[in-house]
Amino acid sequence: MKKILSLAVLLMGLVVIDSLAQVETILEHNIPPGWRYKSFAVSRSDIKALYFLPVLPDEVLLTEDHPGRLQVFNEKNNLIADLIIEDNYRLSKISRNDRIILCDGEESGCYHIKVLDPSGKEMYTTKAEGRWPVTAPYGKDIALVPGQEDVGPVSIIDEDTGREKARISPPTGKDKTFRIAAFFPLGEDGLYVQGVGATLCLKSYLHINEVYWKIQDIGGNIKSGVFLNDEYLAIRYGTDDFRDHKFMAGVAIVEWRTGNILFKKKGFQTNGVQDRWFSQLESLSVLVNNDSLYFYGNPNDVLRLPRRSDGRNGWDENRSVKSKFSPGQIGEITLGGKLIKPEIHAGKYVITDFGDAVRIEKSKFVDVR
């Protein structure tokens, strides 16, 4: 009897938790007739952009030039720009200064980037030579960075003019493990964080002889990284041992100003068997939200790590809580006989494409106790 009562209380608790999970819709918009939703971007100041493809058969879109359509919204969700984009440019991202960056490449990086102001006015187009734009959290630097498997230089361009300010060559190492695997422009005093091999460091293209901090061995070869916010970087690293079938995936959260590692975790795959952490860390499904660190690789098994309580900077794995996306956000919907599956965007947003309208909500996590 006691067990049944406990179970009932637990279930009621879960229902209450779910009902308390109010989600915030940041944009809901009707899709222009003749177009279909493709992608979304938002800036720190809440400028939003939606990018649409024409409604055409796939084989036509794949083989013929076609325009795209870009709609830009201000922080109050008023439409402030609506334009047709030619030459196969697509929406890439919006910078901290609300510059809308378009890219014209596919798979091998951008051949060019086109930069617009929020009103949709083109500021410039510049060659990117098969690299990808990475914007800085401060200042006006945009880095053009080689792709995940590519070896090549990084260029720093000025966000307002597109003019190249510096070009950072790949290290003259002996093999591809010494390529630039992660690069983050910071926009202050020419600073950037660079990951090569297993080494991560803070340097400046204005003061080339200075290395402000260096982590000689972060724990494995750096594979990629992401800005968690303006201060923290998540660095993904790993080692691959094909001989013994042992693979390690790790993530380190690094404060870029100090080089302090605030959190570090490794997962393993041995003989094809992955532990709980391996896939979470390998896909870099991590974000910082309301002072907690979330690993959201498995939407039904999100892990929330609260801030450390001992005064030290970082997150406490020992107090981790099982969490999940608000079920109302990610559940499938049947509308007019059509199955609609919301898409989780970088863990931060949930996008629901209804065909004639698109809704973007901030992700809401609820603890499961």
Partner 1 sequence: MRRCPKSVWLVALFLAFFMFGLVNISWPAMQARTDLVCSTTWLVVEYWTNGVYTGSSSTPYSECSFVNSYYSDGGGGQGTTEDPPQGGSGGGGGTTTINNYDTNGNGIVDCYQTAIFHTTSLFITSQCNSARPKSSTGTHDALDLWIAGIDGKPAYSVCTGTVEKVAVETDSNTGAIKEGGWGYYVEIKDADGNIWRYAHLKGTSQDKSGVGLKAGDSVSAGTSKVGLCDTSGTQVAHLHLEYWKDGVKTCPTDKLSNCGANKA
- The residues in 235-264 that bind partner 1, with binding defined as CB under 8 A, are 239-247
Size of the site for partner 1 (CB under 8 A): 98
Phi-psi region of 272 (alpha: psi -120 to 50; beta: other; left: phi over 0): left
Nearest residue (CB) to partner 1, 208 versus 335: 208
| Member of 74, 77, 125, 199 binding partner 1 (CB under 8 A) | 199
Considering only the stretches 71-79, 142-150, 253-261, 352-360, report the one whose residues sit in contact with partner 1 under the rule CB under 8 A: 142-150
Nearest residue (CB) to partner 1, 87 versus 189: 87
| Member of 120, 152, 171, 306 binding partner 1 (CB under 8 A) | 171
Rounded Cα distance between 242 and 245, Å, is 5
**Minimum distance from CB of 8 to partner 1 (Å)?**
32
Considering only the stretches 179-187, 257-265, 310-318, 360-368, report the one whose residues sit in contact with partner 1 under the rule CB under 8 A: 179-187
Rounded Cα distance between 152 and 179, Å, is 8
| C-alpha distances out from residue 32 to 42, 54, 285, 292, 339, Å | 20, 10, 32, 38, 21
Interface with partner 1 in residues 61-120 (CB under 8 A): 61-65, 87-88, 90-93, 103-108, 110-111
Rounded Cα distance between 313 and 333, Å, is 41
Nearest residue (CB) to partner 1, 14 versus 299: 299
Nearest residue (CB) to partner 1, 17 versus 54: 54
Considering only the stretches 2-10, 17-25, 146-154, 305-313, report the one whose residues sit in contact with partner 1 under the rule CB under 8 A: 146-154
| Member of 282, 326, 329, 365 binding partner 1 (CB under 8 A) | 282
**Minimum distance from CB of 305 to partner 1 (Å)?**
17
Considering only the stretches 70-78, 116-124, 329-337, 345-353, report the one whose residues sit in contact with partner 1 under the rule CB under 8 A: 345-353
Rounded Cα distance between 13 and 163, Å, is 57
**Minimum distance from CB of 173 to partner 1 (Å)?**
5
